[in-house]
């Protein structure tokens, strides 16, 4: 069964600190993996999208990694800001399909 699991479920950090969020998936055959940021009450916003051949991609203070062999991905946030408080969702797509399979997200809270 195609699944995406994320950890931790929630995370609290202090402003300025770094953090890393994890994603494991069992989607096959793999097409691409995306990380989205979802603020409360809003739609998800794309941070990165990686295909099989890419193992790292950055977007400002966000850096995503992908290990297609172990089916794991991580999202590293550097020098966190209060505005980083949101849910971060790992999303995987299987080849030859248009469906995205969503993880349940990691809820990050950044405190001053």
Partner 1 sequence: NAGVMQNPRHLVRRRGQEARLRCSPMKGHSHVYWYRQLPEEGLKFMVYLQKENIIDESGMPKERFSAEFPKEGPSILRIQQVVRGDSAAYFCASSPGRENYEQYFGPGTRLTVT
Contact residues for partner 1 (CB under 8 A)? 4, 31-32, 34, 36, 41-46, 49, 51, 89, 93, 95-105
Nearer to partner 1, 43 or 112 (CB): 43
Nearer to partner 1, 46 or 81 (CB): 46
The nearest distance, CB 32 to partner 1, in angstroms, is 5
The nearest distance, CB 99 to partner 1, in angstroms, is 5
Burial-class residue 96 by CB neighbours within 10 Å (0-12, 13-18, 19+): exposed
The nearest distance, CB 37 to partner 1, in angstroms, is 11
DSSP tally for the chain: helices H, then strands E? 0, 11
Distance of alpha carbon 16 from alpha carbon 40, whole angstroms: 22
Nearer to partner 1, 28 or 104 (CB): 104
Distance of alpha carbon 84 from alpha carbon 38, whole angstroms: 10
The nearest distance, CB 110 to partner 1, in angstroms, is 21
Task: Give the list of residues 6+ apart from residue 41 with CB closer than 8 angstroms, or none.
Answer: none
């Amino acid at each position: 069964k195609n699944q995406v699991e994320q950890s931790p479920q929630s995370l609290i950090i202090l402003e300025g600190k770094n953090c890393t969020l994890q994603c494991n998936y069992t989607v096959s055959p793999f097409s691409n993996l995306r990380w989205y940021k979802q603020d409360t009450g809003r739609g998800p916003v794309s941070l990165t999208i990686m295909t099989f051949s890419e193992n790292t991609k950055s977007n400002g203070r966000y850096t995503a990694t992908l290990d297609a062999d172990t089916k794991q991905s991580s999202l590293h946030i550097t020098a966190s800001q209060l505005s980083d408080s949101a849910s971060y969702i790992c999303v995987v797509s299987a080849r030859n399909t248009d469906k995205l399979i969503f993880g349940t997200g990691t809820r990050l809270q950044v405190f001053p």
